[in-house]
Amino acid sequence: MLTNADIKKIIDANKEVFATKVDILNVKDELVRDFSNLQSSVDGYAKKSDTYFQELLVFAHRVDRIEKWIQTIADKVGVKLEF
């Protein structure tokens, strides 16, 4: 039969093997912090990509408008343009 002293020796010898409640809470806090950092990174990337796609739409509209002007000028000058 194990005595309290024997149990204490086993616990002291294997202290790093047993996770305490504090250890679990520290890991949980670290995971929450890491997830928060990851979420912030994803939000930042989403904002940048949204801005990029909006700029791309504006650029495409501008190119379409310039192509229309070129086509109108070509028609007036008598040059046939093929796209």
Q: Domain segments of the chain: what residues?
A: 18-77
Q: What does the pLDDT look like over 26-52, one tens digit per residue?
A: 999 999 999 999 999 999 999 999 999
Structure tokens at 36: 């928060």
pLDDT of the residue at 64:
96
Write the CB contacts of 81 (distance below 8 Å, at least 6 apart in sequence): 70, 71, 74
User: Above 70 in pLDDT, residue 77?
Assistant: yes
For residues 49 and 62, give the distance between their C-alpha atoms in angstroms, rounded to a whole number: 20
Structure tokens at 54: 């909006």
pLDDT of the residue at 40:
96
Give the predicted TM-score (pTM) of the model.
Answer: 0.55
